[in-house]
Amino acid sequence: MDNAVSGFSKLTKEEKINWIANTYFINPAEAIATLKQYWNNDAQLQQLHDDFIENTISNFYLPMGIAPNFLINGNYYSVPMVIEESSVVAAAAKSAKFWSTRGGFKAAVLNTEKIGQVHFLFQGDSGSLQSFFEAIKPNLLASTESITANMQKRGGGITSLELRNKTTELENYFQLHVTFETKDSMGANFINSCLEQLAKTLKEEALNYAGFNEAEKNISVVMSILSNYVPNCIVRAEVSCQVTDLAEKKIENPQEFAEKFVQAVRIAEVEPFRAVTHNKGIMNGVDAVILATGNDFRAVEAGVHAYASRNGQYSSLSHAKIENGVFTFWMEIPLAVGTVGGLTSLHPLVKIALEILGKPSASQLMEIVAVTGLAQNFAALRSLTTTGIQEGHMKMHINNILNQYQTTPEERKMIKSHFENNTISHAAVVSYIDSLRK
């Protein structure tokens, strides 16, 4: 079937939808109705969403929830989370409440350095290139001043600029390695603008450099782009308490629980198959807050997982120990986030989320995001090492099954009552629904 289309982006929104509906659906009218059902009735608000990306045909909704009672560095937060996975918000809230009576979470930003690179090819003597770089470095920095002026007023800008020889990895490959401080903005556009100017100046200066032969003057810039790997933009989140204080309804033997918990973390430190799932649980919390606050969860994911592999093997992001009767659980992760610019000033719900968090700075948001990830990880490991992960997960997942089978309020009441004392599984719930309807 040939479904190629020419000039799709030039079609009106209505024309795009009609083409999609008539090309891919047996019942085009039903498809059109579903797509339009998710439009916002406020035309101005809908237009705002339409302009976020190209070829918009509808809005794709995700639930926005709140995990309250997060005690972070002595202050309480109600954390907005945007995610579709059942049990995530409940687990975060449960961890927040658990630790709020045990000293709360401690968090600290260790560094906020961001990185960008100009990747280029140079055919000539590397020593000559180094001499050239040292000679023109002031000119390179000066050429970006019109871009960096406002950022410098806020205490940011370019913090270092160096030439790196990468010819042992790839023939003729060099780079300008640049570090930035972007304060409360994530800084992607700022960084990329600086890099493109540096690349332009690099080429211009090479053409006029007397120390180069003709071949060396023709520097070939391959690309200029920020890096989403930010190993020096790190935040630490931690909880700790006396082992005896871990006791609660489902933790009757806190020493045994703590030891088993630490062992579970150590397994994730040495076993990549476990580490991936372990870290995915952390990212359930991280991504949910990143989305709610209008930040780029794909960039965060890529950077975090690269960091988890920094020692040559993919490993746990979190760590745990017992020392002198004290249980400590912590992690350090790279996070490049912003609270100004991008969606933070455009999306109404992002504005609401940041307001709920008390209009945090980028550093404060880093702390909140990291704490939520650690809380999520604690909740998962507590379940895994006590009752098992499925008990709580399936209790939340049952709502999805009930919605799928369009159960009535009376059926829901009977089903939930039945499964208070029976094991929940998809098959068991469906079987019980069938028995009710017979």
Catalytic residue list = 85, 280, 296, 393
HSE-CB at 391 with a 13 A cutoff on CA atoms is 13
The kind and range of the H/E element at 275 are helix 272-292
Query: First and final CA of the chain: distance in angstroms?
Result: 43
Rounded CA-CA distance 209/360 in Å is 47
Neighbours of 329 (CB within 10 A): 23
Q: Where are the beta strands (DSSP E) in 37-172?
A: 64-72, 75-82, 106-109, 114-121, 157-165
* Beta-carbon-side half-sphere exposure of residue 432 (alpha carbons within 13 Å): 20
Angstrom distance (rounded) from CA 265 to CA 316: 7
β-pairing verdict for 106-109 and 114-121: unpaired
Tokens of 43: 């035309």
Counting other chains too, the contacts that 94-99 makes at CB distance below 8 Å and 24 or more residues apart are: 94/379, 95/375, 95/376, 95/378, 95/379, 95/382, 96/67, 96/68, 96/69, 96/70, 96/71, 96/375, 97/69, 98/248, 98/378, 99/71, 99/239, 99/375, 99/378
Alpha carbons 24 and 368: distance in angstroms, whole number:
43
Contact 113, 186 (CB under 8 A): no
Q: The tokens of 50 are what?
A: 């339409």
* Contact present, 183 and 151 (Cβ < 8 Å): yes
CB 69 within 8 A of CB 93: yes
Q: Do the Cβ atoms of 201 and 143 come closer than 8 Å?
A: yes
- H helix intervals, 38-144: 43-50, 88-100, 126-142
Strand 173-181 and strand 114-121: pairing? antiparallel
